[in-house]
Amino acid sequence: MNPKNKLVLLLTFLVLTISCKDEVRKEKNMAPDNFFLEEITIPDLQQAYKNGDYTIKEVVQAYLDRIDAIDQNGPELHAVIQVNPDAIQIAEALDKEMQEGKSRGPLHGVPVLLKDNIDTHDKMETTAGSRALKGSHPLQDSWVAKKLRDAGAVIIGKANLSEWANFRSSMSSSGWSGLGGQTKNPYVLDRNPCGSSSGSAVGVSANLSMFAIGTETNGSIVCPSSANGVVGIKPTVGLVSRAGVIPISFSQDIPGPIARSVRDAAICLGAMTGVDASDSKTLKSKGKFHTDYTVFLKKDGLKGKRIGLYTVPLGKHYKVDTLMNRAVKFLKSQGVKVVKIDQIGSKDAGNYSFNVMLYEYKDGLNKYFASLGENAPVKNLDDLIAFNEKDSIELMYFNQKYLIMAREKGDLDSEEYKNALEKMHKGMREEGIDKVMDEYKLDAIIAPTGGPAWKTDHINGDAFHVGSSSPAAIAGYPNITVPMGFVDDMPVGISFFGRAWSEPVLLEIAYAYETANPWRRVPEFKLTD
C-alpha cells in the first residue's frame, strides 16, 4: 500500500477511535480523562513547582477548567457551589513570590475548596447552601480561611453541602442544598455522597481540587470521606478554631481537612492549628497542637500497638464486615493486639447530645447572623424560618423541623441545657472513650466508618446502614477515616479514633495502614451500578 494511503488510513482510524471514545464517555456521562494533575500529591506538586514544570497560575486554571467541565457540565457533580473570581490573580501573586525565591511552606500554590459554611471575606458568598443567605458577604475571613491564605493555599471555590450542615430537616438527602442542588457521588452518579461535607469530599475525590476543608458535628467529615474514597480528619474540638464557621454545636463542631492521602491531610491539618482568643475551645490546645503533623507519619506505625475493635457497627452489612475482617487480619499480621469493644459510653449520650445541639444551634445561629452586620440577609432564627416558609425551593423536598425545635429552646443558662451537656460529656468521655482506652490500655479504636453509599432519594431521605462517628463526635475527640476497600463499585472507609489530642498517634496508625493498603481508586463517574 502506498505510504501516503497508509497515513490517511491511520489518521482516519485515530479520529474514529477518539470520536468513539467521546461518544461512549458522553453516553456514560463520564468525565474527560487525561487530566494531567490527576491524583497528584501535595509534595509532588511542590516538586513540580521547583522543577519549573508548572506555574501556580497554570495549576489553578487547570482545576478551574476541570470544575467547569465536570462539576458544572459533564457528570454535573454539583460539588462546587461557587468559584473564586480572584483565584487566578491570587495564583499570579504567589507565582511572583516563588520567582523571588519565597515560599510560604508546603501549601504554597496548592488549590483548596472550602465548605460553604466557612466565611471568606472576598467576592464569594458564605451561604451554608441556603437561599436565605444568598448575597451574604461576611465582614472578615474565618480563622481557617486566613490560616490557609497565610500558608499560601489558593481558595479556588466553595464546596456544596447538605444545607445548614444537615441540621435543618428530618428525612433529608445528604448533599442537597437550595443553592447548590444535589451533590452526586463520583463513583456512581445516582448514589449519595453522604454529608454534610458532601462537596468537599466529592471535590477531592473527583480531582476538582488538591484538598478541601469540611466541618463535622457528628459524621460530617468522616462519612462523606468514606463514601467518596478519600481521607478525612475530624480533629479534637479545640484543635482548629471555629471562628467564622456557621455553627451547629459549640461543643461538637470542628473544621478538618479532606484529602486523597494521609500525608496530604496531615500537611493541611498542621496549617490550621493554633490558639485563637475568639474561640475559647482552642485555649485548651496550647501545648498540645502541632504545626507539622508529617513527622508522625511512619510506615512501621503499627508496631507494638493495642487497638480496640468497636463491634457495634458490625453485623449490619455482611459485605462491610468482610472488609473489616480483612483489615483486622492485616493489623494482626503486623503484630497489633486487637481487643473487641462491645460498648463505648452511655447509651443515653446521643439523646443528650441532640438536646445540646438544639440549644447551641439557636444560640450560635443568632450570634452568627449578628456578626454579619446591618446588611445581613436574615437577622435571626425567626427570620430564617419565615424565609423558608415563603421560598419556592427551600421546602420543596424537606421540612425545617430542627430549626423550629431549636427556636423553641431557651438560652444557655437553662438547667436542662447544662444538665444535658454535663451528662453528654461524662457519658462519652470519662465513662466512654477514656474509660475503655484506660481499661484495655489502647492506643486507638477502629470501626468501619460507614457502609457503601445508598441511592439518592428525595422522597425517603438518607438510608444509613452502618456508622461509627458518634463516640468521637459526642466526646469531641479526633477521628480519621482512610479507604478500606470497595463493596462492588462503592468505597468504604475504616475509622481510627481515640483520646483528646491524640492526632499524632492516630496519624501514625492510619498512615501505616494506608501505606500497606492503598485502596484509593479514581472515580469513573458511572451512571448506575
Reply yes or no: is the peptide bond before residue 174 cis, omega within 30 of 0: no
Amino acid in position 296: F
385 φ, ψ (degrees, to nearest 5): -60, -40
Instruction: Please say if 346 is a catalytic residue.
Output: no
233's CB contacts (< 8 A; 6+ apart) are 221, 256, 257, 258, 265, 266, 269, 478, 479, 480, 503
The DSSP output letter for 285 is: G
Amino acid in position 397: Y
Q: Which of 196, 197, 470, 502 is catalytic?
A: 196
Map residue 520 onto helix, strand or coil.
Answer: coil
Helix and strand numbers, DSSP H then E, in the chain: 16, 13
Q: Which of 57, 115, 158, 362 is catalytic?
A: 115
Instruction: Please say if 470 is a catalytic residue.
Output: no
Alpha helices in 377-522 (DSSP H): 381-390, 401-407, 415-428, 434-440, 470-475, 503-516
Q: What is the dihedral of CA 270, 276, 280, 286, to 10 degrees?
A: 50
Start-to-end C-alpha separation, the chain:
46
Q: How far apart are CA 153 and CA 149, in angstroms?
A: 5
Sign of the CA dihedral with 191 first, then 196, 199, and 204 last: negative
Name the grid cell of 239.
Answer: 484543635
Return the H-helix or E-strand segment holding 272.
Answer: helix 262-272
240 close to 284: Cβ distance less than 8 angstroms = no
Nearest CA to 233 among 503, 430, 517, 52?
Answer: 503
Q: How far apart are CA 272 and CA 146, in angstroms?
A: 9
494's CB contacts (< 8 A; 6+ apart) are 323, 324, 327, 446, 447, 448, 449, 481, 482, 483, 484, 513
Q: How far apart are CA 297 and CA 301, in angstroms?
A: 7
Q: What is the dihedral of CA 7, 13, 15, 18, to 10 degrees?
A: -140
Largest CA distance in the chain: 92
Q: For residue 386, how far is the Cα from the chain centroid?
A: 30
Instruction: Please say if 209 is a catalytic residue.
Output: no
Q: Which of 200, 220, 468, 470 is catalytic?
A: 220
Q: How far apart are CA 483 and CA 205, in angstroms?
A: 11
246 close to 142: Cβ distance less than 8 angstroms = no
Which residues are part of the catalytic machinery?
115, 196, 220
